Amino acid sequence: MVSTIGLARALALAACMAGLALPTLAQTPAQAEVAHYVLDNGLEIVVIPDHRAPIVTHMLWYKIGSADEPPGKSGIAHFFEHLMFKGTKAHPAGEFSKVVSDVGGTENAFTANDYTAYFQMVPPDALATMMRFEADRMRGLVLSEDVIDAERDVVLEERRSRIDSSPRALLQEEVAATLYQNHPYRIPVIGWLHEMEQLNRRDAVAFYDRYYAPNNALLVVAGDVEPADVLAMAQQTYRLVPPTPDLPPRLRPSEPEHDTARTVTLHDPRVGVPAFSTSWVVPTYNSAAPGEAEALDLLAEILGGGIRSRLYQQVVVKTGIGAAAGAAYDSGAYDPSGFTVYGVPQGNATLAAVEAAVTDQIAMLIRDGVTPAELESAKTRFVRSLVFARDQQSDMANLYGRELSTGGSVEDIAQWPDRIRAVTAEQVQAVARRYLDPSVAVTGYLLPPAVQGQ
Amino acid sequence: MVSTIGLARALALAACMAGLALPTLAQTPAQAEVAHYVLDNGLEIVVIPDHRAPIVTHMLWYKIGSADEPPGKSGIAHFFEHLMFKGTKAHPAGEFSKVVSDVGGTENAFTANDYTAYFQMVPPDALATMMRFEADRMRGLVLSEDVIDAERDVVLEERRSRIDSSPRALLQEEVAATLYQNHPYRIPVIGWLHEMEQLNRRDAVAFYDRYYAPNNALLVVAGDVEPADVLAMAQQTYRLVPPTPDLPPRLRPSEPEHDTARTVTLHDPRVGVPAFSTSWVVPTYNSAAPGEAEALDLLAEILGGGIRSRLYQQVVVKTGIGAAAGAAYDSGAYDPSGFTVYGVPQGNATLAAVEAAVTDQIAMLIRDGVTPAELESAKTRFVRSLVFARDQQSDMANLYGRELSTGGSVEDIAQWPDRIRAVTAEQVQAVARRYLDPSVAVTGYLLPPAVQGQ
């Protein structure tokens, strides 16, 4: 089973913004139509009617991600994503996937820091069947030693191919492990190799019993369905699953004040073109002071969100020293998370020159602020990206799933455009000044092998 | 109550080696006289007869340190060291201290990564009384909200005065938080400020109930006493304390493979003279392959253990560019721990020049190894430091307490000199090559404020 791992929101937003045709807005579902329920066993349900095509996206989100793992058990959340395809008491491994395939559907799953999600896209008349299978594996998995041992090898191989064979991924891991001094976002989603090797049946059973339960889950259904029908189907399937009695509160150790500037350097013979990234831990929507996350979203957009941004224009277009430059902000993370700028040199330009150009742009923005015109333009682009996300049914389901599994609400999504529009230039400058402080930045360098003596 | 915090072994060894007169060896206690018992409630007892003066050192060690704290509860081990002086059901706060003082004794306590210890030095006829008080507070503390709130303010003030007011201490904190990507040695012993502020009565009671018990403790008595008498006293006092039924195994998350070189930089207006330190995580006696910890101990001695060492001779004496240079290795830590080299410039020399000189010395040692003469000299100095530790009664009690609370045994102490003497020059070179790899080093820089634009 293929899994997607990563900073899900940043990637998803990037995907939303890349290459989509302008949707016919009148055809996209209106906010008011979104239905929200909670079953008496604690399962949260969101239904987003979308009648443009006879298809439905069925996603089950668990509010458990790698940042919720017990100490020393890194990788178990993602390991579980794999185990969920291994068969239950009622249905042997492969049966669920075969049913999805037989109706012409597709399925997948992904694990991130804050959640684990399972989804199928199928014709509407297969929805009840999807719910039956998904509800069955919420509590009915067969976790034998054989299953655990075989799947552990699979995730270890996934780690080798995705992380250990990639200097960029290895550097990213150690940048995260450096950026966060205390919070579990420092631990890789896929897990540390030496801890993955030790994951066992007892760990798996304990994790499953505690976290895979309706009171820790969110059902998102988007598509050619009516909310009342979805609710009725959920009551005949998910409602039969008992809640877990010992669900712990979602409390993670938080960051201390950062006082130092730090660097992380990887020299590797596989590196052709060098690169750098500089990161800070900043608030996100779930815990930021009013307006701060919105201002940071626009700061990322103005500074480095695509080809209109200052970094791209200055580093790539005007001076031509960079092959790439930009910014990213994981504003939807449950806890304070990374704000990152990055650059890659072009031709004979040095990495140091690109880094200096990026640093200069930040210093200039902190000193002089942003112009009304670029603020307006950034707001328009940002709000349009939110609208674009509604064009593709799976993106829309993703948007609601992420929001509601990281402390947000249906109302937060509805109000997001207005909250973005309300941000002032002063607010953008203020968050840049407050958070993009070079004296507490963490900078990663991806470099070819050092010359002798270095 | 004053507490000592830190890399206890390194500091204690340094203390042992500094300024002590050569002991008359015939007067120090022979290894064979050391008695070792275990009571049926799990309490381990070590008695080291030392009849040179009519005094006895009574130390109670708990095998619980800051690295054993629950996630998000940093500082609670040290907080408890304070709470232990706050009075029990049987004896109000201050009574124990008054009794110690009335017999002309002294007392203190300290918390480290791997243990928390309480000790008194008193005349031998007060030993039974010390045991009675110490056993009483093992389980009898009164942990009221008032006591918790008042003492939390005391440890917060201790943090402010020891850490937050010291650029060097702040840098050290973030170097440790960077060096360890996964292991709890990255968390400061005194605690992160924001977590200390949240420590509450419930945390304290849970910690006390679980960890303060005879099956998690070690009694060390050194002095003018007979082992049989000490055992009899312990049976009348400590033996009455029931063991805790739910003592968890001492398992901590361990380090992943390190792949990157990292730096940690603090610019601070309070810094007059700059300094740097470079650290690696290396094995320690408790888990190293045979001979590796011994070789690392000698490597630290040869490279930077005092004025005879290569770093001191080259950086301070010959070139005169350094005011200080040396190495330290925390070989007694329960888990793999830091090996550190450091340097401070002198006069007009730059920090970069000092760092380069230190780096060169390491590269040279890795390339050419160590000479038979300097290995012999280092062995002699190291073994002598172990002998010196027996001169002072409290140092001797410390040595046994540290060893037995970090996975070692009485026999390990006895065999230590011979194991050091067996190390070959090839072994020293091999551990230097294997562990002092610049591509995975973590370097901290303590610097005055950056000039504008930097």
Q: What is the spatial distance between Cα B386 and Cα B391, in angstroms, rounded to a whole number?
A: 9
Q: What is the spatial distance between Cα A436 and Cα A177, in angstroms, rounded to a whole number?
A: 19
The CA R_g of chain A, rounded to the nearest whole Å, is 23
Of A181, A194, A254, the CB nearest to B186: A181
Q: Over range A95-121, report the average pLDDT.
A: 97
To the nearest whole Å, the CA of B286 is away from the closest chain A CA by 19
Q: How far is CA A131 from CA A77, A92, A119, A218, B434, in A?
A: 22, 17, 10, 12, 55
B211 & B271 share domain: no
Angle B279-B283-B287 from CA coordinates, rounded to 5°: 160
What A139-142 contacts at long range (C-beta under 8 Å, 24+ apart), as own/partner pairs, is: A139/A212, A139/A213, A139/A241, A139/A242, A140/A88, A140/A89, A140/A90, A141/A83, A141/A84, A141/A86, A141/A87, A141/A88, A141/A208, A141/A212, A142/A86, A142/A87, A142/A88, A142/A89
CB burial string A35-63: b at 16+ within 10 A, e below: bebebebbbbbbbbbbeeeebbbbbbbbb
């001191």: which residue's tokens?
B312
B302 & B366 share domain: yes
Instruction: Provide the pLDDT for residue B174.
Output: 98
Pair A296, A285: CB distance under 8 Å: no
B128 & B226 share domain: yes
- For residue A75, list chain B residues with Cβ-Cβ distance below 8 A: none
Instruction: Provide the pLDDT for residue A48.
Output: 95
Q: What is the spatial distance between Cα B361 and Cα A47, in angstroms, rounded to a whole number?
A: 67
Of B256, B260, B267, the CB nearest to A266: B260
Question: Phi and psi of B409, rounded to 5°?
Answer: -140, 170
Q: Over range A358-365, report the average pLDDT.
A: 98
Pair B243, B310: CB distance under 8 Å: no
Instruction: Provide the pLDDT for residue A4.
Output: 35
Inter-chain CB proximity A259 and B193 less than 8 Å:
no
To the nearest whole Å, the CA of A92 is away from the closest chain B CA by 35
B177 & B270 share domain: no
Tens digit of pLDDT for each residue in A226-280?
999 999 999 999 999 999 998 999 999 999 999 999 999 999 999 999 999 999 9
Does the CA dihedral A292-A296-A298-A299 come out positive or negative?
Answer: positive
Inter-chain CB proximity A177 and B182 less than 8 Å:
yes
Of B192, B251, B263, the CB nearest to A256: B192
Q: Over range A382-411, report the average pLDDT.
A: 92
Q: What is the spatial distance between Cα A388 and Cα A104, in angstroms, rounded to a whole number?
A: 26
Nearest chain A residue to B356, by CA:
A454
Q: What is the spatial distance between Cα A237 and Cα A117, in angstroms, rounded to a whole number?
A: 18
Identify the band that residue A12 occupies on the pLDDT scale cut at 50, 70 and 90: very low
Strand partners, A427: none
To the nearest whole Å, the CA of A368 is away from the closest chain B CA by 16
């005065």: which residue's tokens?
B161
B310 & B216 share domain: no
Q: By three-state DSSP, how is residue B46 classified?
A: strand
A220 & A286 share domain: no
Inter-chain CB proximity B259 and A177 less than 8 Å:
no
B267 & B184 share domain: no
Respond yes or no: is residue B81 known to be catalytic.
yes
- For residue B180, list chain A residues with Cβ-Cβ distance below 8 A: none
To the nearest whole Å, the CA of A362 is away from the closest chain B CA by 13
Burial of B169 (0-12, 13-18, 19+ CB in 10 A): middle
Pair A357, A322: CB distance under 8 Å: yes
Written as six digits, the tokens of A120 are 């199928």
Of the three residues B206, B240, B274, the one that is the final residue of a domain is: B240
Q: By three-state DSSP, how is residue B140 classified?
A: coil
Nearest chain A residue to B450, by CA:
A439
Does the CA dihedral B132-B138-B140-B144 come out positive or negative?
Answer: positive
Greatest alpha-carbon span in chain A: 70
Does the CA dihedral B180-B183-B184-B185 come out positive or negative?
Answer: negative
B416 & B287 share domain: yes
Of B173, B192, B261, the CB nearest to A265: B261
To the nearest whole Å, the CA of B43 is away from the closest chain A CA by 28
- Is there a domain that residue A23 lies in? no
B296 & B217 share domain: no
Which residues in chain B come in under a pLDDT of 70? 1-32, 451-454
Of the three residues A176, A208, A240, the one that is the final residue of a domain is: A240
Greatest alpha-carbon span in chain B: 70
Inter-chain CB proximity A262 and B265 less than 8 Å:
yes
Pair B181, A184: CB distance under 8 Å: no
Q: What is the spatial distance between Cα A99 and Cα A91, in angstroms, rounded to a whole number?
A: 11
Q: What is the spatial distance between Cα B431 and Cα A297, in angstroms, rounded to a whole number?
A: 49
- For residue B197, list chain A residues with Cβ-Cβ distance below 8 A: none
- Strands A44-49, A35-38: pairing is antiparallel
Pair B282, B289: CB distance under 8 Å: no
To the nearest whole Å, the CA of A179 is away from the closest chain B CA by 8
Instruction: Provide the pLDDT for residue B454.
Output: 39
What secondary structure does DSSP assign to B146-167, as a single string? HHHHHHHHHHHHHHIIIIIT-H
Q: What is the spatial distance between Cα B421 and Cα B298, in angstroms, rounded to a whole number?
A: 10
Pair A128, A99: CB distance under 8 Å: no
Pair B1, B87: CB distance under 8 Å: no
Burial of A165 (0-12, 13-18, 19+ CB in 10 A): exposed
Q: Over range A295-319, report the average pLDDT.
A: 97
Interface test with B, best of A168, A260, A266, A364 (most B CBs within 10 A): A260
Tell how many helices (H) and how many strands (E) occur in chain B. 16, 12
A–B interface: beta-carbon pairs under 8 A = 102
- Is there a domain that residue A1 lies in? no
Q: What is the spatial distance between Cα A301 and Cα A420, in angstroms, rounded to a whole number?
A: 12
- Is there a domain that residue B194 lies in? yes
Nearest chain A residue to B192, by CA:
A256
Strand partners, A35: A47
What angle, 0 to 180 degrees and rounded to 10, lies between the N-to-C axes of helices A201-211 and A76-83?
80
Interface test with A, best of B159, B178, B180, B360 (most A CBs within 10 A): B178
- Strands B3-5, B44-49: pairing is unpaired
- For residue B256, list chain A residues with Cβ-Cβ distance below 8 A: 177, 192-195
Q: How far is CA A15 from CA A166, A381, A394, B169, in A?
A: 22, 14, 12, 44
Tens digit of pLDDT for each residue in A427-439?
999 999 999 999 9
Inter-chain CB proximity B181 and A186 less than 8 Å:
yes
The closest of A163, A165, A188 to A177, measured between CA atoms, is A188
- For residue B177, list chain A residues with Cβ-Cβ distance below 8 A: 181-182, 256
Q: In which order are the strands placed within the sheet that holds A217-223?
A: A3-5, A106-111, A116-122, A56-62, A217-223, A44-49, A35-38
The CATH number of whichever domain residue B161 belongs to comes to: 3.30.830.10
Written as six digits, the tokens of A420 are 């973005």
Q: How far apart are the first and last CA of chain A?
A: 43
A212 & A144 share domain: yes
Pair A69, A189: CB distance under 8 Å: no
Catalytic residue among B81, B151, B158, B301: B81
Q: What is the spatial distance between Cα A394 and Cα A47, in angstroms, rounded to a whole number?
A: 13
Pair A213, A241: CB distance under 8 Å: yes
Strand partners, A44: A38, A218
Q: Over range A23-31, report the average pLDDT.
A: 42
A346 & A387 share domain: yes
* Domains: count for chain A: 2
Q: By three-state DSSP, how is residue A290 classified?
A: coil
Query: ipTM score here?
Result: 0.88
Instruction: Provide the pLDDT for residue A386.
Output: 87
Burial of B98 (0-12, 13-18, 19+ CB in 10 A): exposed
Q: What is the spatial distance between Cα B244 and Cα A81, in angstroms, rounded to a whole number?
A: 38
The CA R_g of chain B, rounded to the nearest whole Å, is 23
Of the three residues A189, A209, A240, the one that is the final residue of a domain is: A240
Residues of chain A contacting B, Cβ within 8 Å:
71-72, 74, 170-171, 173-174, 177-178, 181-182, 186-187, 192-195, 251-254, 256-267, 439, 444, 450
Q: How far apart are the first and last CA of chain B?
A: 43
B303 & B181 share domain: no
Identify the band that residue A452 occupies on the pLDDT scale cut at 50, 70 and 90: low
Q: What is the spatial distance between Cα B253 and Cα A199, in angstroms, rounded to a whole number?
A: 13
Q: What is the spatial distance between Cα A178 and Cα A260, in angstroms, rounded to a whole number?
A: 11
- Is there a domain that residue B25 lies in? no
Q: How far is CA B231 from the centre of its chain?
A: 27
Domain that holds residue A348: 262-447
Is it the case that residue A327 has pLDDT exceeding 50? yes
Lowest mean pLDDT among A112-116, A389-393, A418-422, B224-228: A389-393
Tell how many helices (H) and how many strands (E) occur in chain A. 16, 12
Pair A203, A76: CB distance under 8 Å: yes
Strand partners, B136: none
Instruction: Supply the DSSP symbol for A300.
Output: H
Return the amino acid letter for B420: I
